[in-house]
A and B are shown apart, each in its own frame.
Chain A
Amino acid sequence: MKKLWIAAIALLYLVVPFALQGNSYVLSLTVSALIVAGVAVAWALLGNLGGMVSFGHAAFFGIGAYASALLTLKAGWPVLLALPVAGLCAVVASLVMLPALRLSGPYFALAILAYAHIFRILATELTSVTNGSAGLSSVPRLPTLFGSEALTAITPYLLALTLVLAFCWVYARVRSSDYGIALRAMHDSEDATRVVGVNSVLLKSWMLLLSAFMTGMIGALNVHVINFLDPDYAFNGSWSVLPIVAAIFGGYRTVGGPMIGAVVIYMVDQLVFKSMLSSGHQIILGAVLAAMILCAPDGLLSVFRKRAKEARHAEA
């Protein structure tokens, strides 16, 4: 299993970028897919470990994007320093949402949706800082890695991949730690978990902050890839919808599921559905999400795993 992982990672770093280098369209799609994957992992962390469905991750995504764009454009910060700071800005914004953690289920989901709307309106109205709906253009590009010109084209890919893999690693570590066990126990009975001395609100808060940090950072990375930003793009509802579909499709209770799901869903959506249906191609995303929830709520990865297990049992 471990060898398989190492082989896959080596493939992703050493073979895939050079195979895609010639085709800049597919390369840029892959980068966007990885950006969605980053949000999907962050969403899955909150959804699986925190037990909360968020329809408002676009809020963190947009805040990270704006923070990084403004820091590099107006304050002249280097891009690589602005990325983690943008993540921290998203964390600060998520602090405002902490009261929402007292609420469960639909209340939390809708409260966070309301936050996303509020931030979008603020970004549009605070014209002196954000330049309103006209947006910010010529946001600095990502620096070239190791000063090598040959890597310029694939730098966004390498950075996005590294971030997403790092998120997956963090997700895996948190999940297998003591905190992860406490969080999963909370799923079954929050009251019982509290009785044995787990501070459930505190744990959930950490998950929210961590998820916000990840989403903010990936939003910041995205803005330096596309070099342009406006409120409708930064806080677009699709930053909330796509990661949910991706995470559910791949299986949000697994570590690799959200990432694989994001790449598959995003690529198929852009390459197939978008050319098939000019308007309303999101209908297929909705259908995929509904079908997954109804038939395989644990995601495709779990279905495959179950199949493999059954096959092994059958052999034995």
Chain B
Amino acid sequence: MTELLLQSLYSGALVGGIYALIALGLSLAFGTMRIINLAHGELVLLAAYVAYTVESRLGVNPLVALPIALVVVCACAAIVYFLVARLTRYRELNSLMLTFALGVILTNAMLMIWSSDIRSTGNATLQDAVQIGSVYSMVSELLFFVLSLAVAALLGWWLSRSWYGRAVRAVSSNRDAAKLMGINPARVELVSFLVAGVLATIAGVAIYSSSVISPPLGHALTVKAFIITVLAGVGSVPGVLLAALLLGITEAMTVTLFSSALQELAGMVLFLLVLFVMPNGLFGASRRRG
């Protein structure tokens, strides 16, 4: 039993690394524009499907698809940004419905292009088993977990050291003041969407390499990313990372201890509990939502 628990702890943490990339993208765009991009999970899935196409057409490692997926997903992220930026009145409500609609469009477009069949990678190297101590994982899971941590660290460095990263934080904390300091908020918002697109691409290729994909997954990923941002509270990179690991582990534990049908329920219950009991998140600053 202990070994089983240890195994699910480990597997959950590995999945959590990928969740973290998705959630970081979502919260970046939320920070600068104050909108939740409900099409974010669909962007992740789009990258996964691009990887599938590249692998099945060219017969190469799905990792090779990264640059192509990057172009496709960032283009879509930019389109989402330009559409959302056109909204003027009741922006909070309208942006929700607009990005929701874009998510519906993307999901159904993927359904039409790639059909509703479940896809997964056929690459043998990525699917090999690795053993660490008494726990197992696939090569791809471990590889992308390490990559996720590296990307998260890079993002943290970018946000605190680079000019654009600082501008993103400035616009997030006070848009008007940032404008007075000579920052072009519109451009910074676009940059935040593009960076979110980059994170989504890596996460998408990771999900395709280590798990299975089908069109409804995009929506589920959006919800998971949102749950993580709520758990983490108003954003710091380590907070999001911890919350993502927590969600991954909770899900894996639920599957091991109860049943796989309850996997999503666990995330939802965790989300509602934190939302009602600790509305500032587990690691959030004392700022009121709303």
CA distance A106 to B94 in the complex (A): 11
Would A106 and B96 be within 8 Å (CB), given that A114-B271, A125-B262, A283-B109 are in contact? yes
Residues of B within 8 A of A115 (CB): 272
CA distance A113 to B268 in the complex (A): 9
Q: What is the CB-to-nearest-CB distance from A52 to chain B, in angstroms, rounded to a whole number?
A: 8
CA distance A283 to B230 in the complex (A): 29
- Residue pair A279, B111 in contact (C-beta under 8 Å): yes
- The number of chain A residues with a CB under 8 A from chain B is 42
- Residue pair B86, A102 in contact (C-beta under 8 Å): no
B74-112 interface with A by 8 A CB criterion = 83, 86-87, 89-90, 92-94, 96-98, 100-105, 107-109, 111-112
The verdict on B223 contacting chain A, using a C-beta distance below 8 Å, is: yes
Residues of B within 8 A of A109 (CB): 96
- Residue pair B97, A117 in contact (C-beta under 8 Å): no
The A interface is mostly helix, strand or loop, or mixed, namely helix
- Residue pair A241, B104 in contact (C-beta under 8 Å): yes
- Residue pair B104, A282 in contact (C-beta under 8 Å): yes
A88-118 interface with B by 8 A CB criterion = 99-100, 102-107, 109-111, 113-115, 117-118
The verdict on B36 contacting chain A, using a C-beta distance below 8 Å, is: yes
- Residue pair A286, B102 in contact (C-beta under 8 Å): yes
- Residue pair A293, B98 in contact (C-beta under 8 Å): yes
User: Taking CB as reference atom, which chain A residue is nearest B99?
Assistant: A290
Residues of A within 8 A of B289 (CB): 103-104, 107
Q: What is the CB-to-nearest-CB distance from B272 to chain A, in angstroms, rounded to a whole number?
A: 6
- Residue pair B261, A105 in contact (C-beta under 8 Å): no
Residues of A within 8 A of B100 (CB): 55, 244, 289
Q: What is the CB-to-nearest-CB distance from A263 to chain B, in angstroms, rounded to a whole number?
A: 20
- Residue pair B226, A110 in contact (C-beta under 8 Å): yes
The verdict on B133 contacting chain A, using a C-beta distance below 8 Å, is: no
The verdict on B116 contacting chain A, using a C-beta distance below 8 Å, is: yes
A258-316 interface with B by 8 A CB criterion = 277, 279-283, 285-287, 289-290, 293-294, 297
Select which of B96, B98, B112, B279 is within 8 A of A277 by beta carbon: B112
B148-174 interface with A by 8 A CB criterion = none
Residues of A within 8 A of B89 (CB): 297
User: Taking CB as reference atom, which chain B residue is nearest A107?
Assistant: B289
CA distance A51 to B116 in the complex (A): 36
Q: What is the CB-to-nearest-CB distance from A280 to chain B, in angstroms, rounded to a whole number?
A: 4
Would A279 and B90 be within 8 Å (CB), given that A104-B290, A111-B275, A287-B105 are in contact? no
The verdict on B115 contacting chain A, using a C-beta distance below 8 Å, is: yes
User: Taking CB as reference atom, which chain A residue is nearest B226?
Assistant: A110
B261-290 interface with A by 8 A CB criterion = 261-262, 264-265, 268-269, 271-272, 275-276, 279, 289-290
The verdict on A246 contacting chain B, using a C-beta distance below 8 Å, is: no
Q: What is the CB-to-nearest-CB distance from A239 to chain B, in angstroms, rounded to a whole number?
A: 14
- Among B36, B275, B289, the most chain A Cβ lie within 10 Å of the Cβ of B275
Select which of B97, B223, B227, B230 is within 8 A of A289 by beta carbon: B97
User: Taking CB as reference atom, which chain B residue is nearest A114?
Assistant: B268
Q: What is the CB-to-nearest-CB distance from B243 to chain A, in angstroms, rounded to a whole number?
A: 15
CA distance A45 to B33 in the complex (A): 27
The verdict on A170 contacting chain B, using a C-beta distance below 8 Å, is: no
- Residue pair B98, A102 in contact (C-beta under 8 Å): no
User: Taking CB as reference atom, which chain B residue is nearest A52?
Assistant: B93
- Residue pair B223, A110 in contact (C-beta under 8 Å): yes
Would A121 and B112 be within 8 Å (CB), given that A114-B271, A286-B105 are in contact? no
- Residue pair B104, A118 in contact (C-beta under 8 Å): no
- Residue pair A289, B279 in contact (C-beta under 8 Å): no
Q: What is the CB-to-nearest-CB distance from B89 to chain A, in angstroms, rounded to a whole number?
A: 7
- Residue pair A290, B93 in contact (C-beta under 8 Å): no
Q: What is the CB-to-nearest-CB distance from A221 to chain B, in angstroms, rounded to a whole number?
A: 26
User: Taking CB as reference atom, which chain B residue is nearest A117?
Assistant: B268
The 10 closest A-B CB pairs, nearest first, are: A286-B104, A283-B108, A289-B101, A280-B108, A286-B105, A106-B36, A290-B101, A104-B290, A280-B111, A280-B112
4 further A-B contacts with Cβ under 8 Å, apart from A244-B97, A289-B98, A294-B83, are A111-B271, A125-B261, A283-B109, A285-B104
Residues in chain B within 8 A of chain A (CB atoms): 30, 35-36, 83, 86-87, 89-90, 92-94, 96-98, 100-105, 107-109, 111-112, 115-116, 219, 223, 226-227, 230, 261-262, 264-265, 268-269, 271-272, 275-276, 279, 289-290
